[in-house]
Amino acid sequence: MAHYFITGASSGIGAALAEALLARGETVTAVARREDRLKSLKTGRGTLLTAACDVTDAAALATAIGAARDAQGPIDSAILNAGMYEPQDGTKIDPAVYARHMDVNYMGVVNALPALVEGMLAHGSGQIAVVSSVAGWRGLPKAAAYGPTKAALISLAESLTFDLAPRGIDVKVICPGFVETESTAVNDYEMPGLMSAETAAREIMSGLETRNFLIQFPTSFTRKMGLLRWLPDRTFFRLVGSRTGHPQP
């Protein structure tokens, strides 16, 4: 069975992924800050190792990755999922909130890379899947702190592919739409295409087995979001503003 290493595994997509893979009989290392949540994961037929670790702590994350390899063998697939989201009012900027998003969402991925890449290069193969978001495709209301971190992750994954793919390491970026999680629970607006974390986990598992660089879902929503990238700026701002309660002049 394959060895999956998952960050942000205490809730939402991360927890759903861990449980779905364990139910399939896979070997899983689940990493998150909340150790009590990790211990409640349903193991199914698989083998579970948990590690209480904050992804903003590069040394602790490297230790967790090393311990996972020692205990469960080479990591076949790392799903770097840990993240945070706090809606922001652009008229009230708190730089500390923006920095925290970057530390967790972006550097939380970067911090895992040295140990993961080293191990996969030594093994001669591996997969690194970075969880971004459609919010990284264009700026969206209330996402001024969150969206840029997700855009950065897309660029990071694209850039890494040039160096890692020729060395046998498959890099993927995952861009979900709205998923029922602790993060989206704070939204006070309609979320088109909202899906459960369990459904999202199934989409990701299917995508990991393809040759596609981009894993995006749900298809109907992400296609519409993809079209926004090609709209003229003025049209984009007016359309999205009118649909989200942020009318533009």
- Alpha-helix residue ranges (DSSP H) falling in the chain: 12-23, 35-38, 58-72, 95-101, 107-110, 113-123, 147-164, 197-208, 219-228, 233-243
Domains of the chain: 3-243 (3.40.50.720)
Q: How far apart are CA 185 and CA 193, in angstroms?
A: 14
Residue 156 CB contacts under 8 Å (≥ 6 apart), including other chains: 106, 109, 110, 130
pLDDT in tens, the chain (249 residues): 899 999 999 999 999 999 999 999 999 999 999 988 998 999 999 999 999 999 999 999 999 999 999 999 999 999 999 999 999 999 999 999 999 999 999 999 999 999 999 999 999 999 999 999 999 999 989 999 999 999 999 999 999 999 999 999 999 999 998 787 776 656 665 666 678 999 999 999 999 999 999 999 998 889 988 998 899 999 999 998 888 888 898
Q: How far apart are CA 7 and CA 34, in angstroms?
A: 11
Q: How far apart are CA 32 and CA 53, in angstroms?
A: 5
In this structure, what are the phi and psi dihedrals at residue 214, rounded to the nearest 5 degrees? -100, 130
What is the reported pTM?
0.93
